[in-house]
Amino acid sequence: MSSWTPASASGRGTSKPARWLRQREITLDGVALDRRLEGWYAAWGWLAFARPTLLAQVAVVLLGLAFFALELGRERYNPLRAGDSYLLGAALLWLLGGAATVVHELAHALAVKHARRGVYRAGVMLYFGMPTPFVDTSDIWMAGRRQRLAASFAGPWAELVLGATCAALACALPEGPLGAALFTWAFACLVQTAFQFFPLLELDGYYLLIDLLDQPRLRPRSLAYVRGPLWADLGRRLRTGERFTPEQHLLAWFGLGSAAASLLACVLAAVTWQHWLGPLFAEAWGLAAGAARAAGVAS
For residues 89 and 155, which CB has a smaller minimum distance to Zn ion in the complex? Answer: 155
For residues 96 and 252, which CB has a smaller minimum distance to Zn ion in the complex? Answer: 96
In the beta sheet, which residues pair with residue 131? Answer: 126
For residues 86 and 207, which CB has a smaller minimum distance to Zn ion in the complex? Answer: 207
Cα–Cα dist 34/28, whole Å: 10
Q: Is 1 in the site for Zn ion (CB under 5 A)?
A: yes
Residue 13 CB: number of other CB atoms within 10 A? 7
* SS3 letters across 175-197: CCHHHHHHHHHHHHHHHHHHHHH
Cα–Cα dist 299/294, whole Å: 9
* Least distance to Zn ion, CB of residue 157, Å: 10
Of 77-85, 203-211, 227-235, 288-296, which segment contacts Zn ion by CB under 5 A?
A: 203-211
* Least distance to Zn ion, CB of residue 121, Å: 15
* Least distance to Zn ion, CB of residue 137, Å: 8
Cα–Cα dist 103/223, whole Å: 32
Of 26-34, 164-172, 204-212, 287-295, which segment contacts Zn ion by CB under 5 A?
A: 204-212
* Contact residue for Zn ion among 155, 163, 179, 199 (CB under 5 A): 155
For residues 90 and 188, which CB has a smaller minimum distance to Zn ion in the complex? Answer: 188
* Least distance to Zn ion, CB of residue 135, Å: 8
Residue 10 CB: number of other CB atoms within 10 A? 8
Q: Is 112 in the site for Zn ion (CB under 5 A)?
A: no
Q: Is 97 in the site for Zn ion (CB under 5 A)?
A: no
For residues 133 and 255, which CB has a smaller minimum distance to Zn ion in the complex? Answer: 133
Cα–Cα dist 218/233, whole Å: 19
Give the neighbor-by-neighbor strand order of the sheet with 130-135: 25-27, 122-127, 130-135
Q: Which residues contact 264 (CB under 8 A, 6 or more apart)?
A: none
For residues 1 and 80, which CB has a smaller minimum distance to Zn ion in the complex? Answer: 1
Closest CA to 168 of 279, 294, 70: 70
* Contact residue for Zn ion among 71, 159, 204, 283 (CB under 5 A): 204
Interacting residue ranges for Zn ion, rule: CB under 5 A: 1, 155, 204
